[in-house]
Structure 1
Amino acid sequence: MVLMDMMQAVLEDSGLMALWQQVAPWIALDERQLIFVFATPVFIAVAVWEYLKIRHDPRLMDAREAVRNFALGAGYQVTELLFAGVIAFPVYALCYHYRLFNLELTWLTGFLTFLGVDFCFYWMHRASHRMRWFWAAHVVHHSSERMNFSTAMRQNATNIFNGMWIFYLPLALIGFNPVWIGVAYAFSLVYQFFIHTTLVGRLPGWIELVFNTPSHHRVHHGRNPGYIDRNYGGTLIVWDRLFGTFVDEDAKEPPDYGITRPVPSNNLLVLWTHEYVDLFRDMARPGGIWSRLGHLWHAPEWQRPDASRDSRQTRD
């Protein structure tokens, strides 16, 4: 009951839910989900436009895969809709209840929310590539060998369960309302939809310097040795420049899209779960408990020492 009161206080403090309830009281959506409801028709329209442009080039577009990508995105949205409110939001409400500062929504705090969310996104995204537990969910987004707007929708229905949302909890502890955090995150994802394309070349220099662009994000989706695990930024590319993970797109080396171990099936369940299956199979190999658990937080390519040696050390 106390937790429910805290969650209600968070919603009321944002002021946005009351406005939505006046506009459409019959639809039970939070602000973040509402943004995606309005954005989805735009996504579809833009994806159709792109399809008409590149449909004759199988290297860039496959209609069946594009439909599959939107189905993957729908699965992601359904689990977010059903479970975010009972898994993630109560934790945010708890952190916000014990916040360090009382921050009112102003132009300044709104900008700081955007900046904080983008900073946290960078580290969440970086961890999603360098820690296998998070990679198990994120890998589906990179498993397509094509780069187009539908690829942006290629998300994992397990995202809400594997805990990537914990990276944003410090913002709630500081005093940023979780609803604002969710709204800033949603707008970031909307922006990122539009950088999944090969139709846009390099943009003016100052934009490429500050913002994540289609050119920067094509690098991120490349499996070329020099492109792997680069350009993690969400809306801004400045974090990659600051923390040494930025690589510019090289016209002499076009990105080769996909992952180094392609998925052998297009079944939605396989796409969502194949890396979890491989992860738990590796953890099931003989060895000490900490050695087994190491697969969760080490990089995806990490391999344990010889299993038989681990087993002998455990017995000793």
Structure 2
Amino acid sequence: MKYKNTQLTFLNKKMPDFPNIILYAIPFFILAMLLEFYVTIKMGIKTYEPKDAFSSIAMGLGNVFLGFGSKALVLLVFFWVYDSFRLLEIPIVWWSFVLLFFADDFAYYWFHRISHECRLFWASHVVHHSSKHYNLSTALRQTWSGGFYTFIFWLWLPLIGFHPAMIMLQMSISLLYQFWIHTEAINKMPKWFEAIFNTPSHHRVHHGSNPIYLDRNHAGILIIWDKLFGTFQPELESERVNYGLVKNINTFNPIKIAFIEWVYMFKDVFSGNKSIKDRLQYLIKPPGWKHDGTGKISDELREEWLETNSKQ
């Protein structure tokens, strides 16, 4: 009976009239990429490769298309938690959006960090890191599978009383902010900005496959979380960023880009002579982990780099 009442509550819920800002931003994305392409040519930076850029755009379009299903699922779950279990009722006013800004960004940091430290989440997030180029089209290289399960990192927001529509809007704002930081056309922002916010310099580090840059700078909008939790790494003048993965997948096929890590992961889980514990650990251990000790995770690669480059 309670579930039926929850259904009716959801169906009769008056949704705040918030715009879908991602759809409205698509023309801006196109214009920004054209401008960046022009600027980087003038700067002598070869940052675009046609096949790679078209792959990224295809991944972005797929994400938007599948997003209609995943966002409906997320909204249903958020409303279920909000209607059935919320601890408070936070009003939709200006100060609640300020609180939500920080709460959402905190949730994003941990989602992003765990997506690099747990292979089950890496299987969807790896898509975003699969390009060996770094430009605004790379920002569009989004997962086709993550939207259906990574929302669990935000479940505490409707639980404490934030309205689901507010949460979805703030998640879109965060995603929109992160578009502009995928560029080499901007070197550094003012020092005060670099100290507080995520910037192109900070995010270039995040996309680096150099050992010193692996799994650093997981920020969404605010870089303060990385500094607080020990995952911050500045971009070094002596260490040019190499974009992509430790082991690149070397394909422009959107289907392969979207699902190849899932195939690799399940192959590791179900093949060979392994204990049940080892099979499960292929889902929860970081990328690079091997049950026989032959693999290396990012922390180990970083330690080796630091030992070799300690004088620098």
Q: Report the TM-score when normalising by structure 2.
A: 0.88
Q: Does 1:83 align with 2:84?
A: no
Matches within 5 A, 1:222-233: 222-233=208-219
**1:223 Cα shift?**
0.7
Counterpart of 2:38 (choices 19, 28, 52) is 52
Per mean C-alpha deviation after superposition, the further-off stretch among 119-128 and 283-292 is 283-292
Instruction: Report the equivalent of 2:115.
Output: 128
- Are 1:284 and 2:285 counterparts? no
The answer on 1:16 being equivalent to 2:17 is yes
Matched, 1:6 2:9: yes
* Residue of structure 1 aligned with 2:246, choices 252, 256, 260: 260
Residues 16 and 165 in structure 2, CA contact (< 8 A), matched pair in contact too: no
Secondary structure class of the residue paired with 2:155: helix
| 2:238 is the alignment partner of 1:235 | no
Q: Could you say which residue in structure 2 is the equivalent of 1:26?
A: none
* TM-fit CA distance, 1:142: 0.5
Aligned to 1:181: 167
Bigger shift: residues 56-65 or 201-210: 56-65
Unpaired runs of 5+ in structure 1?
Answer: 18-30, 308-316
User: Is the CA contact (8 Å cut-off) linking 1:55 and 1:62 kept in structure 2?
Assistant: no
Quickly say closer, same or farther: Cα 1:131–1:6, change in 2 above 3 A: farther
- Whole-Å Cα distance in 1 between the matches of residues 63 and 126 of structure 2? 14
CA offsets, 1:81-123, max 9 Å, x none? 12321x3222111111110001101221110111100000000
- 1:147 and 2:134 correspond: yes
Counterparts of 2:135 and 2:88, CA distance in 1: 42
From 16, 21, 25, the equivalent of 1:39 is 25
Give the alignment of 1:19-30 within 5 angstroms: none
Q: Which amino acid aligns with 2:100?
A: T
Distance 1:176 1:297, change over 3 A: same
Deviation of 1:197 after TM superposition, in Å, equals 0.2
C-alpha distance after superposition, 1:214-269 (max 9, x if no partner): 01000000111110000000000000000000011111111111101111321111
1:3-25 deviation line (CA, Å, top 9, x unaligned): 4323335x52x5226xxxxxxxx
Report the alpha carbon displacement of residue 289 of structure 1 after superposing the two structures with TM.
2.1
- Establish whether residue 167 from structure 1 lines up as the match of residue 168 from structure 2: no
Using the size of structure 1 for normalisation, the TM-score is 0.87
Structure 2: give runs of 5+ residues left out of the alignment. Answer: 295-312
* Kept in 2: contact 1:143–1:262 (CA 8 A): yes
Q: How much is the aligned-residue C-alpha RMSD, in angstroms?
A: 1.8
Say if 2:236 is the partner of 1:250: yes
Cα separation, 2, equivalents of 1:58 and 1:217: 18
Number of corresponding residues: 288
State how 1:101-112 maps to structure 2 within 5 Å.
Answer: 101-112=88-99
Deviation at 1:159, TM superposition (A): 1.6
| Offset at residue 276 of structure 1 (A) | 0.5
Aligned with residue 275 of structure 1, among 261, 284, 291: 261
Counterpart-to-counterpart distance in 1, 2:180 and 2:201: 11
Could you say which residue in structure 2 is the equivalent of 1:158?
145
Match of 2:255, SS? helix
